[in-house]
Amino acid sequence: MEQRLKNPVEVPSDAREAREALGQIMERDARARIAAPVRTRRQVFSVIAVVLGVIAAYLWFGNPPFLREPEMAPSEEYQDASLRWVVYLVSQRIEDYRRTHQRLPDGLADAGGGPQGIDYVRLDASHYRVMGSDGAQTVTFYSGTDPAAFLGSSLTRLRAGRRATS
């Protein structure tokens, strides 16, 4: 016969009711102590999960600058070597065209085209000029030029990699 106290100030009439009331109070207190930390832990873990999710989303989609590799501008030597190499490759396309068709191409498009900044000029029936410019510098290759002299140490610089001089 369990009886709940409706009014906490109400004093029980006998010892048995007092024990039952004290037992109910202690039981409620014990349940409250067990349930409260679980709810609190769940709330803390939920908040942590949400915060970590937001951080992960920012790192994944936001591409923050502190995670990117620093952008290093290539050195002037590297740019010169790259430009010389491209001009040389275009001159080789023109030479391939000459071997195949027994004449120089009328334009660079006839020889397979070339990247932006590369110009080809046929000087006469057997001579041509290939010019390359990247805005800062211009390199010119004339037919009959020794490729080793034109390239110089370009291949060594390109193998060394794209390094900025700071």
What is the tens place of the pLDDT at every residue in 23-59?
888 888 887 777 666 567 788 888 999 999 999 999 8
More confident residue, 36 or 158: 158
The answer to whether the pTM exceeds 0.85 is: no
Region of residue 163 (phi > 0: left; psi between -120 and 50: alpha; otherwise: beta): beta
Q: Is the pLDDT of residue 72 over 90?
A: no
Element (H, E) at 60: helix 15-61
pLDDT of residue 166: 42
DSSP string, 70-128: PP-PPPHHHHHHHHHHHHHHHHHHHHHHHHHHSS--SSGGGGT---TTEEEEE-SSS-E
Q: What is the pLDDT of residues 87-140, one digit of tens each?
A: 999 999 999 999 999 999 988 888 888 888 899 999 998 899 999 998 888 999
Look at 58-72, 97-111, 145-159 and tell me which has the smallest mean pLDDT.
58-72
More confident residue, 109 or 70: 109
